[in-house]
Amino acid sequence: MMRMNKKGGERLVSEQLVYIIIFVVVLITIFVIYSILSGKGSAALDYITNMLRFGR
């Protein structure tokens, strides 16, 4: 059996984590640009701010 180097496995996990974070940031950026260009971004922002007021 081949023994895996502990540092090599940690590096693989951290590398995958970096790719996942980059993918999520790009996905959120695309969603924000689409919502702004379609004109629904301001309505969504108003809805979110109204939800976050907590009874004010």
Count of positions (residues) in the chain: 56
Per the CB < 8 A criterion, the answer to whether 44 and 35 are in contact is yes
Q: Which two tokens stand for residue 26?
A: 């790009």
pLDDT at 2: 47
| Residue 46 phi, psi (nearest 5) | -65, -40
Reported pTM: 0.53
Give pLDDT, residue 43: 81
Instruction: Show Cβ contacts of residue 44 under 8 Å, excluding neighbours closer than 6 positions.
Output: 35
Write out pLDDT tens, residues 1-56: 445 555 555 667 788 888 999 999 999 898 888 877 887 777 877 888 888 887 65
Q: Where are the domains of the chain?
A: 9-51
- State the residue for tokens 């939800």: 51
Chain-centre distance for alpha carbon 2: 36
State residue 23's pLDDT score: 95
